[in-house]
Amino acid sequence: MDIKGKIIQKMEPQGGVSKAGNQWKKQEYVLETLDSYPRKVKFDFFGDRADQYPLEVGDVITLSYDIESREFNGRWYTDIRGFKAMKEDPNMVAANQAPYPPAAGAPAPAPAPSADGMAAPAPPMDNTFDQGAGDDLPF
């Protein structure tokens, strides 16, 4: 799965030795999506990927990730584990974001003025309606 967003927080790296005696390390980040209603997503890179994808606050990335859950002492914990991060050009991201679509039933935007300062005439309104319903109104 992929998600695109901006890194808004970088946590301190973590590391240690597992029960089996193996070294491990983990780097956690918080990403904020570029949606109309931004969401914050905490994810991590584990093992060698922690060094392979050095990210900084302000980087705009596309993150490829897996969701993984595990049980510990009767409780379940879910991690979002990144496996690839591609940095994006922040200028291109802003240019490619489409403006919000108009709400349903919202009036159309006014036509842009022409070179002489006069607004172009509006297209004629379609005043037809579905006449298949007939006169079966309840009043």
Tell whether the model's pLDDT for residue 64 goes beyond 70.
Answer: yes
φ, ψ of residue 31 to 5 degrees: the values are -110, 140
Tell whether the model's pLDDT for residue 137 goes beyond 60.
Answer: yes
pLDDT at 129: 53
What's the CATH number of domain 2-96, 1.10.10.10, 3.40.50.720, 1.10.101.10, 2.40.50.140? Answer: 2.40.50.140
89-115 average pLDDT score: 58
Q: Extract the tokens encoding 122.
A: 């509006």
pLDDT at 89: 78
Question: Domain residue spans in the chain?
Answer: 2-96
pLDDT at 111: 58
pLDDT (tens digit, 9 = 90+) per residue, 71-97? Answer: 999 999 999 999 999 998 766 655 555
Q: What is the DSSP letter of 48?
A: T
Beta strands in 73-127 (DSSP E): 75-88
Question: Other CB atoms closer than 10 Å to residue 88's CB: what's the count?
Answer: 17
